[in-house]
Amino acid sequence: MRRLSFMPFVLFVISCTLMSLLFNSDNVFASGTLSSEEETIESSDEEVPFDRPVKEIKKYIAPMNELELFPCTDCHDEEWETDYTRRELDEPHDEIPGKFVNHDSDNRWCLDCHSAKKRDRFRLINGKLVKFNEYYRVCEQCHKRIYREWKMGVHGKRTGYWNGEKQWMHCAQCHNPHNPPFKPIKPKPAPRKPLDIKASSSAGARTSSAGTH
């Protein structure tokens, strides 16, 4: 009987011990979860190492412009009075096609792009002057879509490396600004098939051998 009366007490002690263990383990798990969250928050502030993207090229590099080698001021004195009359040009500008230019000639005239005050500069629509090596800004005024595609690398030609210096071909390095349409190009003949080459070689050999007899 004593043993039976003692059993409830033992069971009570065991249950209390288990409850204590469970309570302490919950605290451990909770504290562990909290600390991991804190670590996550702290680590998110740290910079994650990665390969940095190539910086945007702020200057369009291109081969030397021929206009820089032959400045207009070598012949045009800026103190001269400017003649704004639309007319056919004499030598040395007589090589420009058409009556004026083959580039919207009904609406365009030389001094729409070239500055009459500073001959070694181009003139934008807003009156701002730009250097010869920035003439793509003149083209951009009318050719917005092409200019955007050129900056994105879709239109035109580039050379260089993906992570280094690049050369961007400017508009006039492919297009004649006074006559921009490309001239028709006659296609080269199609490549010969290997069998045709072999047949022509065999025929030539037979002709050569026949001529020796």
Give tens-digit pLDDT for 147-196: 888 888 888 888 877 777 777 788 888 888 888 777 778 888 888 887 77
Confidence of residue 129 (pLDDT cuts 50, 70, 90): very high
pLDDT in tens, 24-69: 544 444 444 434 333 333 433 444 343 444 444 445 555 555 555 6
Average pLDDT over residues 69-85: 79
In this structure, is residue 40 part of a structural domain? Answer: no
Count of structural domains, the chain? 1
For a pLDDT cut of 90, what percent of the chain falls above it? 5
In this structure, is residue 204 part of a structural domain? Answer: no
8 Å CB contact between 105 and 181: no
In this structure, is residue 140 part of a structural domain? Answer: yes
Count the Cβ atoms, other than its own, within 10 Å of residue 203.
Answer: 10
In this structure, is residue 133 part of a structural domain? Answer: yes
Phi-psi region of 87 (alpha: psi -120 to 50; beta: other; left: phi over 0): beta
The answer to whether the bond into 92 is cis (omega within 30° of 0) is: yes
Average pLDDT over residues 79-95: 78
Which tokens in the block code for residue 193? Answer: 């098939």
d(CA 19, CA 166): 72
* pLDDT-wise least confident of 7-16, 68-77, 92-101, 125-134: 92-101
8 Å CB contact between 177 and 103: yes
Which tokens in the block code for residue 201? Answer: 């070689």
In this structure, is residue 94 part of a structural domain? Answer: yes
Question: In this predicted structure, what is the pLDDT of residue 95?
Answer: 67
Look over the chain and give the mean of its residue pLDDT values, rounded to a whole number. Answer: 70
d(CA 119, CA 122): 8
Q: Which residues contact 71 (CB under 8 A, 6 or more apart)?
A: 119, 120
Question: In this predicted structure, what is the pLDDT of residue 128?
Answer: 93
- Residue-range definition of the domain harbouring residue 96: 66-173
The amino acid present at 50, given as its one-letter code, is F
In this structure, is residue 123 part of a structural domain? Answer: yes
In this structure, is residue 86 part of a structural domain? Answer: yes
